[in-house]
Structure 1
């Protein structure tokens, strides 16, 4: 089964292509399932004064869901569409996040940590904030946030679990203990993770998560799905052949799929 569960679209402000462009591209390349998973509206920063084009507006959220549902019906005989959301975890905003999640008929919700406070550690425009910081302390704060996200019970799987490495900033010290502890928390919360192939086109040039974390996740019995994190239709499923090959080498035989917030494992 060929799936891609992580995609972004023009509505979020920093991606290209309409939802239907991704659906048509998914049909063209032979996907069995395509997840539409745009960014949740920003909750903890003022979208009018913060960095532009970070996420869809709150007013667009119902339109996004409505369009996803329409496309699911229109193309039901050509591709299996799953309706998702990448829901940023922001500590202290759990109730607001839950209200968004509970309001709509999601098939799955990705729990991702992009922000440490008001710093989006995944935004190339904000890499200057690494200067003068204790990198180990940043990694500790990041993995603490991922663990808290898992414990909320709000999400179906954790997205790009080690995305903190995206721009190549890393502590001198080993962070393996943080990575393993985080995976153990995810296991204890009966959550899945994703293998996000987009890291291969980032400065770090490595998928999220790295191979050693994938191997430990398999050892722990953590289910796993895959996504390209495409921000342009032509990048749909980019590097997913490499992702599947990597998973098979490590020993994975199944991928997690989601429907109406329920997980099902399929062979790939």
Structure 2
């Protein structure tokens, strides 16, 4: 069963293409399911205007309506899920909880893009890393990952090691120790980890998480999902074929691959292939 649960829309301001074009591309690639998961409106979460990269809250109902329309139109060709990606910060948990209670979500993705109030993931942010201790940034980032996992707010965590996006790696910290620690936290968190192929489109040139990290997650039976983080129709299922081959070499068991419906996980039995 092939699915892509991390697909954005032009509403976020940094993606392009019509929502229907993403659906058509998924059908062309023989996906069984997709899920739209655009950025949740940041204007109601206390983010400053200069850091907002999402639809506005007033657009949210239209987002739901557009997904429902496409779901009905293509119901005989592909299943379409309603998802959202929410930026996690410790000081807005109560606000996030208010909006996660909407029963229209099939799944909610939690992600981390900010350190010390700064969006480190935006294109061209190499200077942010050049001016700071990479080790300290990794410590801060993965502390946030642990807090996100413990919050109980989300179904999936996106691009779990996004901190490596620009190819910056710690100098003294042991990544193996970090991976083991995070995998241990996640093993009791009732949270799936997204295998996100967007890293192949960025300087790091590998998926999130790394294969070494995935091995630790698999050891602890942490559930996994798949997402391309598509920001254009051509990104749908991006590089899934190569990543699937690597996962099969690891002997990945399909009983830890999960999809979601109305925030309830279900086991996916077949990784399959992709054109």
TM-score in terms of structure 1 length: 0.94
What SS class does the counterpart of residue 83 from structure 1 fall into? strand
Aligned pairs for 1:81-230 within 5 A: 81-173=80-172, 174-230=174-230
Aligned pairs for 1:245-256 within 5 A: 245-254=245-254, 255-256=257-258
* Residues 11 and 18, structure 1, Cα contact 8 Å, conserved in 2: no
Partner of 2:262: 260
Partner of 1:21: 21
How many positions carry a matched residue from both structures?
A: 265
CA deviation profile, 1:141-164 (whole Å, cap 9, x unmatched): 100111111111110111111110
Partner of 1:46: 48
Question: Which has the higher mean CA deviation after the structures are superposed, 183-192 or 212-221?
Answer: 183-192
State the shift of 1:266 in Å: 1.1
State the shift of 1:104 in Å: 4.7
* Residues 179 and 216, structure 2, Cα contact 8 Å, conserved in 1: no
**CA distance change for structure 1 residues 87 and 22 in 2, over 3 Å: closer, same or farther?**
same
What SS class does the counterpart of residue 216 from structure 2 fall into? helix
TM-score in terms of structure 2 length: 0.92
Gaps of 5+ in 1: none
* Residues 41 and 55, structure 1, Cα contact 8 Å, conserved in 2: yes
Partner of 1:11: 11
State the shift of 1:51 in Å: 4.6
What SS class does the counterpart of residue 226 from structure 1 fall into? strand
Counterparts of 1:252 and 1:164 in 2: how far apart (Å)? 25
* Residues 103 and 262, structure 2, Cα contact 8 Å, conserved in 1: no
Runs (4+) of structure 1 exceeding 4 A deviation are none
Question: Which has the higher mean CA deviation after the structures are superposed, 185-194 or 116-125?
Answer: 116-125
CA deviation profile, 1:129-183 (whole Å, cap 9, x unmatched): 2233121111011001111111111101111111100001222112322222112
Gaps of 5+ in 2: none
Counterparts of 1:242 and 1:265 in 2: how far apart (Å)? 22
Counterparts of 1:143 and 1:44 in 2: how far apart (Å)? 23
